[in-house]
Structure 1
Amino acid sequence: MFIPDIFKFEDWEEKIAFIKQYSFASIITVKDGLPIATHLPFAIDDSSEKLILTSHFAAANEQSKFIEESISLVIFSEPHAYISPTHYDKIESVPTWDYITVHAYGKAKIISDENMKYKALEKMIMSYEQSYKEQWDNLPDKFKKSMMRGITAFEFEVTDLQGQKKLSQNKTEIERERIADHLEKSDQTVEKQLSPYLKSTI
């Protein structure tokens, strides 16, 4: 990812917190020289020395056939906002876009063992809706096995985690305060969520 020095996002713990908060991402893999992508929720495990992302494809998704062959890229990207030049002091200004994104590079491994696949599903449940676990535990085994046949679960070991925060750092503090206040009042959720990040640069 091209990252100008002024927009570098390097703090490891902060990047982990970001991908946990915005964990619906795009996984991109190369097939016959062309990129293919799927949009998936990920469970993020940073409890050991390795950073592991877990998710699953629909069984019919051909991308699962290629993710073990080469490096894949998972893109976590949100929140973001259009930034109007009306917030700047200089008339000679142009519009731009502020955003935060994290790119995770690594190699995926298909989970074929049924017990491990079951644990991968439970990891997703515990990441997104812990209260659903009781309902899941009480579902008939036949139903759960049918659900598991319909997916291809995988683990993704991150080998490189790159981040960028483009938050108007190249503008004055007064201009950034103006932009942050505007975003905070927005009725768009993604814009409103960007405001605290922008304020953190002031």
Structure 2
Amino acid sequence: MYIPAHFAQPDRDALFDMIEAHAFGLLVSGSGADMIASHVPFLVERPDSARGGEHGTLLCHLAAANNQLAALDGQAVLCIFQGPHGYVSPNWYAKKPAVPTWNYMVVHGYGQAHISRDPAVLRGIVDRLSRIYEGPDGWALDDEPESFFSGLARGIVAIEIPLSRLEGKYKLSQNRPLADIDGVIANLRRIGGDDNLALADAMDAAAQKKRDR
């Protein structure tokens, strides 16, 4: 990924925080005509966890019928996580001339995929995902009969990706003067919407370093 120095996010914990907050990512593998991608929710094992490894690990599962599985085991993969993003009008800048642009936050994770059909591994992934998104009083895998899970496990495959590299690009107008940044923040908040408001908050936090100088 092309990352100018002023847009780089080197804080590893911040990158894992963003993955967890925007965990529905893109699993990309192959090359050329064989390139293929799947949209899936991921789980994160941070480097300081028992299964995290040196750089952290990503976990997900695919349908057993997914063509991406054919050559996935042992293959280098890219996992993409898109955070808040939005259009930026040059009319929002104090300094002209200027052109339209797009601000965004994105994380790329690189590693080698390993597949598993172990029912215990599959159960752990499904159970963790459901607990995250259902909450404490929602549906739980343990509420279903064991025969239900046995059938489910035959139809899915676990993917474990020990990360070799994690990189983040937070394009938040860091290259603009404070007056321009404040203009963008104000207009994003004026327009509203979840992405615009989250992007404005991220820009405000990033701009604090300039304000403190």
Q: Give the TM-score, by structure 1 length.
A: 0.92
Q: Is the 8 A contact 2:80 2:109 kept in 1?
A: yes
Instruction: Tell me the alpha carbon deviations over residues 104-144 of structure 1, each in whole angstroms, 9 at most, x when there is no partner.
Output: 00011111222222122222223333426763212111112
Partner of 2:175: 170
Q: Is the 8 A contact 1:73 1:103 kept in 2?
A: yes
Give the counterpart letter for 1:58 in structure 2. Answer: A
Partner of 2:153: 148
Please show how residues 1-202 of structure 1 align to structure 2 within 5 Å.
Answer: 1-30=1-30, 34-46=34-46, 47-48=49-50, 49-50=52-53, 51-131=56-136, 135-202=140-207
* Structure-2 separation of matches of 1:132 and 1:152: 27
Alpha carbons of structure 1 residues 167 and 116: separation in structure 2 relative to 1, 3 Å? same
* Structure-1 separation of matches of 2:91 and 2:153: 52
Residue correspondences, number: 202
* Structure-1 separation of matches of 2:191 and 2:83: 16
Instruction: Tell me the alpha carbon deviations over residues 14-56 of structure 1, each in whole angstroms, 9 at most, x when there is no partner.
Output: 1111111111100100056532100000011112452111111
Moved more, 115-124 or 11-20: 115-124
Moved more, 30-39 or 136-145: 30-39
Q: Is the 8 A contact 1:55 1:120 kept in 2?
A: yes
* Structure-2 separation of matches of 1:185 and 1:147: 46
Q: Give the TM-score, by structure 2 length.
A: 0.88
Give the counterpart letter for 1:89 in structure 2. Answer: A
Question: Displacement of 1:160 after TM fit?
Answer: 0.2
Question: Displacement of 1:88 after TM fit?
Answer: 1.3
Alpha carbons of structure 1 residues 31 and 142: separation in structure 2 relative to 1, 3 Å? farther
Q: Is the 8 A contact 1:55 1:124 kept in 2?
A: no
* Structure-2 separation of matches of 1:134 and 1:92: 54
Contiguous gaps of at least 5 residues in structure 2: 208-213
Give identity over the alignment, percent. 30
Q: Is the 8 A contact 1:79 1:99 kept in 2?
A: yes
Could you say what secondary structure the match of 2:140 adopts? helix
Q: Is the 8 A contact 1:125 1:132 kept in 2?
A: no
Contiguous gaps of at least 5 residues in structure 1: none
